[in-house]
């Protein structure tokens, strides 16, 4: 143990070691942009080796939409600010899309959603006529706006119905007619958006002749009301939110021809059992078939089907099963264009790996194997039968680019710099847009050839690195320790710039800990600047990835099934005890902080965790916590806990409310009153319970704030938490 301690002292990752004199202020961190990294604005691959981007002129306060030849750097200006006006006024757009012939540019806003959703006002700019047409002329809510692949039409959802606009004729065709507040065509309900990470509820066929779409009937889903306090007599935010064990939306998949004079959607026969999910839907390259994934309510059986448009029938291709839950992948599958085969990601052998299947469902090859998890599928080079992807092969803390042949041979690592790498390949696969960062390196953006050779640096954030070099940044170290069961856990420890191993320091533990997540990553932002600020106040900051987190294999992640919070809390307690064993830690001053699932974990640690043996946490901050899983949504909760009807004991032992009588230490409870994700009722239920038990605690609520605290209130939040830490820890 002591040999490990000494190694910690001498192997700190010093991020900026030159003339560090200045100390951070909360105002600089939360009110200024000078400490934020720069990103490449509006980068999108267009065709071949050409990408689209937005160029801003700071002097004239104007922007241009340009196409850039990635190899030569030559630019073609497609539109300038003076072109993008309607009735003499500049168009305020958040998203643009260029037609394949470069003749038209679609301009849309961004709508509030779980992720970026195009919509709002919709405009179409013609480069040929230099005119702007407003497509959102008819009053209504416009959502999910997209050009067709051939660039001749625009599809969109208005008032929960699908429409297509023909650019040449200016004619609008309505594709569905039953949309209303409860019948959603081409858009999703709250829980699909949040838990399946999908916004786009309809898809163009590759030949632009059909649209496939989700239809959700949420009329049976209970309605949830959130009080808004910004008016004299109050008002309510009302929406459909299925809590664990309640009814979900009924899902259908429809297909409709966009060229028909009287479009009539055809709905796929999905199953006799309607209590299912359809988390993914994709066209096959031939435009004649659809691939859809069907997931049972318990989320332990996932089936891949192919639907034939002409025969109007489905065929089961592949089935995934699990004793716990099956992961629904975002970037884990790809349908080859030149052969009847597809790439598929699965953890069936205990780790997340890639497989090559034929359309007949027969396995052709396992492409990757070993005791590591692969991450995202990036590009499939069909002529050379090569898959490009990111993986945690070297370490769960890092992501590197790899390639492998379709027969599973010649797996090659393509990046070497320690940290986190990602890539977006050009349409022809000859180049990729490379993003890199580490815990000590702000994001850097490059264009590279497929072999990894540098074409051009797009942004290196050198200015930010220079600015940060003037500050007394903390020193970070990645480390491992064993929990009470002998399982090795990953962690990081941040110490002050002037760290003195002969002193005793208080420690704040940062926790998230949710299924498949990670806080211990070698990536920029894994250790935020507020934690560096706390080191300047004389604190250490520590984080550990407990059992249940990601990229340690399926067994490590799924161990928490049906009993969330138990093993995770025990591991956080093990982390606190590990800290207490270090000579430079004041074991009487260890605290814990987390938000969302991390807020749940902080609540569990201050109640259940502090009752496991002696009290290990002196103080805890729980932001937006789940306090009983009966309060949370169906898809997320049941994936990990099953339903409360089938697993009542699991729900009870996993709830901070159950252990409220065991609260020890200084506890701060925080929540936004408009939180539509983890409802404010979670915190009011815990507060009520603690009050009934006579347990002292502190609380802060943020009116008109959602799951994340934004705007001026975010500065107030960190003032509050900082003061609590200084006074109570």
Please write the tens of the pLDDT for every residue from 495-553.
Answer: 999 999 999 999 999 999 999 999 999 999 999 999 999 999 999 999 999 999 999 99
Residue among 137, 194, 136, 184 at smallest CA distance from 159:
184
Q: What is the DSSP letter of 136?
A: -
Q: Look at residues 228, 182, 177, 175 and name the one whose alpha carbon lies nearest to residue 203.
A: 175
pLDDT for the residue numbered 261: 85
Supply 51's token pair: 């990408």
Please give the pLDDT value at position 10. Answer: 36
Catalytic choice (353, 532, 628, 707): 707
User: What values do phi and psi take at 169, rounded to 5?
Assistant: -100, -20
What does the pLDDT read at residue 1? 31
Is it the case that residue 79 has pLDDT exceeding 60? yes
| Sheet architecture: strand order including 313-321 | 276-283, 289-296, 301-308, 313-321
**Residue 5, pLDDT above cutoff 50:** no
Is the model's pLDDT at 415 over the cut of 90? yes
Max Cα-Cα span within the chain: 81
**In a 3-state reduction of DSSP, which class is residue 28?**
helix
Reference 213, options 253, 162, 156; nearest CA is 253
Q: Which of 517, 596, 603, 654 is catalytic?
A: 596
- Least confident span in 11-20, 77-86, 497-506: 11-20
The percentage of residues in the chain with a pLDDT greater than 70, rounded to a whole number, is: 96
pLDDT value for 113: 58
Q: What is the pLDDT of residue 41?
A: 81
- Cα separation of 473 and 631, whole Å? 40
654 catalytic per annotation = no
When pLDDT is averaged across residues 594-605 and rounded to a whole number, the result is 99
pTM, rounded to two decimals: 0.95
Contacts 24+ apart (CB under 8 A), 456-465: 456/70, 456/73, 458/40, 458/43, 458/433, 459/38, 459/39, 459/40, 461/37, 461/38, 463/38, 464/35, 464/36, 464/37, 464/38, 465/16, 465/441
Helical axes 566-580 vs 597-607, angle rounded to 10°: 70
23-52 mean pLDDT: 93
Active site residue 679: no
Q: What CATH superfamily is the domain 2-35+465-728?
A: Alpha/Beta hydrolase fold, catalytic domain (3.40.50.1820)
675 is known as an active-site residue = yes
- pLDDT given for residue 597 in this prediction: 99
Please write the tens of the pLDDT for every residue from 297-342.
Answer: 999 999 999 999 999 999 999 999 999 999 998 889 999 999 999 9
First-last CA distance in the chain: 26
The proportion of the chain whose per-residue pLDDT surpasses 90, expressed as a percent, equals: 91
Lowest-confidence range among 105-114, 142-151, 325-334, 627-636? Answer: 105-114
Residue 58: predicted pLDDT: 79
Of the two residues 581 and 18, the one the predictor is more confident about is 581
Residue 7 has pLDDT above 50, yes or no: no
Highest mean pLDDT, choosing among 11-15, 259-263, 270-274, 301-305: 301-305
CB 74 within 8 A of CB 67: no
Q: What is the pLDDT of residues 200-210, one digit of tens each?
A: 999 999 999 99
Per-residue pLDDT of 627-668, as tens digits, reads: 999 999 999 999 999 999 999 999 999 999 999 999 999 999
Predicted pLDDT at 14: 54
Say how many C-beta atoms besides its own lie within 10 A of residue 629's C-beta: 26
Each as own residue / partner, the long-range contacts of residues 53-61 (CB below 8 Å, 24 or more positions apart, any chain) are 54/96
Is 359 a residue whose pLDDT tops 50?
A: yes
Please state, in angstroms and rounded to a whole number, the distance separating the CA atoms of residues 641 and 639.
6
Q: Is the pLDDT of residue 9 over 50?
A: no
The active-site residue, picked from 603, 675, 679, 683, is: 675
Q: Mean pLDDT over all residues of the chain?
A: 95
The mean per-residue pLDDT over the stretch 42-68 comes to 90
Say if residue 225's pLDDT is above 90: yes
pLDDT of 197: 93
What angle separates helix 529-536 from helix 712-728, to the nearest 10 degrees? 40
Confidence of residue 20 (pLDDT cuts 50, 70, 90): low
Enter the tokens of residue 394: 């070297």
Angle 651-573-496 from CA coordinates, rounded to 5°: 130
> Are 393 and 372 spatial neighbours (Cβ–Cβ below 8 Å)?
yes
Q: What's the mean pLDDT in 396-414?
A: 98
Q: Which two tokens stand for residue 195?
A: 């838990």
Q: For position 13, what pLDDT does the model report?
A: 56
Residue 624 has pLDDT above 80, yes or no: yes
56 pLDDT tier (thresholds 50, 70, 90): confident
Q: Where are the alpha helices (DSSP H) in 91-234?
A: 190-195
Q: Which is it for strands 666-672 and 698-702: parallel, antiparallel or unpaired?
A: parallel
Q: What pLDDT, in 10s, does the model give residues 549-590?
A: 999 999 999 999 999 999 999 999 999 999 999 999 999 999
Neighbours of 384 (CB within 10 A): 11
Classify each residue of 297-333 as buried b or exposed e, where b means 16 or more C-beta atoms within 10 Å of its C-beta: bebbbbbbbbbebeeeebeebbebebebbbbbbeebb
Write phi, then psi, for 530 (nearest 5 degrees): -65, -35
């Amino acid at each position: 143990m002591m040999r490990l301690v000494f190694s910690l002292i001498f192997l700190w990752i010093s991020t900026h070691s030159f003339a560090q004199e200045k100390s951070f202020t909360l105002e600089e961190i939360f009110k200024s942009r000078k400490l934020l990294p720069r990103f490449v604005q509006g980068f999108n691959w267009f065709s071949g080796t050409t990408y689209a981007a937005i160029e801003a002129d700071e002097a004239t306060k104007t922007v241009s939409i340009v196409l850039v030849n990635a190899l030569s750097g030559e630019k073609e200006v497609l539109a300038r600010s003076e072109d993008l006006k309607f009735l003499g006024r500049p168009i305020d757009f958040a998203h643009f899309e260029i037609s394949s012939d470069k003749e038209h540019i679609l301009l849309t806003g961004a709508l509030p959603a779980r992720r970026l959703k195009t919509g709002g006002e919709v405009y179409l700019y013609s480069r040929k006529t230099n005119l702007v047409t407003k497509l959102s002329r008819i009053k209504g809510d416009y959502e999910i706006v997209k050009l067709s692949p051939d660039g001749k039409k625009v599809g969109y959802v208005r008032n929960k119905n699908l429409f297509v606009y023909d650019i040449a004729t200016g004619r609008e065709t309505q594709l569905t007619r039953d949309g209303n507040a409860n019948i959603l065509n081409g858009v999703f309900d709250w829980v699909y958006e949040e838990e399946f990470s999908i916004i786009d509820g309809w898809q163009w066929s590759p030949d632009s002749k059909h649209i496939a779409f989700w239809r959700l009937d949420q009329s049976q889903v209970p309605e949830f009301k959130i009080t808004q306090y910004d008016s004299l007599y109050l008002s309510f935010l009302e929406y459909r939110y299925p809590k664990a064990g309640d009814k979900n939306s009924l899902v259908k998949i429809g297909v409709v021809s966009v060229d028909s004079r009287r479009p009539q959607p055809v709905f796929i026969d999905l199953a006799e059992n309607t209590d299912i999910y359809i988390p993914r839907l994709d066209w096959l390259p031939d435009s004649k078939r659809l691939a859809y994934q069907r997931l049972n309510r318990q989320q332990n059986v996932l089936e891949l089907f192919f639907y034939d448009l002409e025969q109007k029938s489905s065929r089961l291709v592949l089935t995934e099963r699990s004793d716990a839950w099956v992961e629904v992948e975002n970037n884990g599958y790809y349908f080859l264009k030149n052969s009847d085969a597809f790439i598929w990601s699965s953890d069936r052998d205990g780790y997340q790996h890639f497989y090559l299947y034929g359309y007949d469902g027969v396995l052709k090859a396992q492409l990757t194997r070993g005791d590591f998890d692969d991450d995202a599928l990036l590009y499939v080079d069909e002529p050379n039968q090569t898959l490009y992807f990111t993986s945690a092969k070297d370490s769960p803390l890092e992501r590197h680019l790899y390639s492998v042949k379709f027969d599973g041979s010649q797996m090659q690592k393509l990046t070497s710099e320690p940290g986190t790498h990602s890539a977006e390949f050009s349409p022809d696969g000859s180049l990729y847009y490379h993003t890199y960062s580490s815990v000590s390196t702000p994001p850097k953006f490059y264009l590279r050839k497929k072999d990894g050779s540098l074409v051009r640096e797009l942004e290196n954030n050198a200015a930010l690195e220079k600015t940060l070099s003037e500050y007394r940044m903390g020193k970070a170290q990645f480390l491992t320790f064993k929990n009470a069961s002998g399982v090795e856990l990953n962690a990081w420890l941040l110490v002050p710039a002037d760290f003195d191993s002969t002193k005793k320091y208080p420690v704040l533990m940062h926790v998230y800990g949710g299924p498949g997540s990670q806080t211990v990553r070698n990536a920029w932002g894994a250790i935020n600047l507020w934690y560096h600020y706390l080191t300047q106040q004389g604190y250490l900051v520590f984080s550990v990835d407990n059992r249940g987190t990601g990229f340690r294999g399926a067994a490590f992640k799924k161990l928490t099934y049906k009993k969330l919070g138990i093993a995770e809390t025990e591991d956080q307690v093990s982390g606190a005890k590990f800290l207490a064993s270090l000579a430079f830690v004041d074991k009487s001053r260890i605290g814990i902080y987390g938000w969302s699932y991390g807020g749940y974990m902080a609540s569990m640690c201050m109640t259940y965790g502090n009752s496991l043996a002696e009290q290990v946490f002196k103080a805890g901050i729980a932001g937006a916590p789940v306090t009983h899983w009966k309060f949370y949504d169906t898809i997320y909760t049941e994936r990990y806990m099953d339903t409360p009807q089938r697993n009542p004991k699991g729900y009870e032992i996993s709830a901070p409310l159950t252990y409220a009588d065991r609260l020890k230490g200084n506890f701060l409870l925080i929540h936004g009153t408009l939180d539509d994700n983890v409802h404010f009722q979670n915190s009011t239920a815990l507060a009520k319970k603690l009050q009934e038990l006579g347990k002292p605690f502190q609380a802060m609520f943020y009116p008109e704030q959602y799951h994340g605290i934004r705007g001026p209130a975010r500065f107030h939040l960190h003032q509050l938490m900082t003061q609590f830490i200084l006074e109570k820890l």
